[in-house]
Each structure stands twice: as C-alpha cells, then as structure tokens.
Amino acid sequence: MYGYEMIKELELRSEQVFSLKEGTLYPILHALEAEDLIESYWEETESQRKRKYYSMPFISFGGTQFILDMMIIGIMMNVYRNRNIKEAKAPKLST
C-alpha cells in the first residue's frame, strides 16, 4: 500500500473520524522504515509514475492493514490523553 492510499484507507476505516496529512504520515513511515519495522519498495504505475509502497512482510496477519490499525489506535490514545490533560487543567467551577 502506498502512502496516499493509506491516508484514504485510514479515513474510510475510521468513518472519516481520522484524517492524516501527507506531512504527518510520511515522517511516521520514514521513522518506522529507519527502525526496520516496515519495508518499502518502488513500483512504476501504468502512467510511468513511481510510487513507494510500504509493507510489513514479517507480520502475516495483515501487513499494511496492521499499520493502519496501529495508527488508529495511536491517534485515539493521543486524543484521549490530550482530552484528559485539558480536563485536568480546566478550573473547577464552584456552584
């Protein structure tokens, strides 16, 4: 699966709740690749355009689908953590 395809799949699987910009996704993918957690390869499309595809061949239960699942979980955890931090900092109103 190539990067833009991941972005669209993430939006679809999360029912439009999560949307990543390329400027967010690609640094994550590059970091995962640098740590040898994912692999990439270039493939030429019918229109002679090259695309970089990402995979997790050592994970037999989903590959790039696993990456998307982990991204969704990570985003949800960040949203939850940030909401709790904001609530903890919010002043209590006395009644």
Structural domain tally of the chain?
1
pTM of the predicted model as reported, rounded to 2 decimal places: 0.60
The domain in which residue 39 lies consists of 3-89
Domain membership flag for residue 42: yes
Q: Which of 9, 15, 4, 26 is nearest to 68 (CA)?
A: 9
**What is the percent of the chain with per-residue pLDDT over 90, rounded to a whole number?**
12
- CATH number, domain containing residue 14: 1.10.10
Count how many residues are written for the chain.
95
Domain membership flag for residue 62: yes
Q: What is the per-residue burial (b if ≥16 Cβ within 10 Å, else e) of 55-91? A: ebeeeeeebbeebbeebeeebeeeeeeeeeeeeeeee
Beta bridge partners of 42: 52
pLDDT tens profile 52-93: 998 876 655 556 677 777 776 676 667 667 666 655 555 555
Domain membership flag for residue 95: no
Q: What is the pLDDT of residue 69?
A: 72
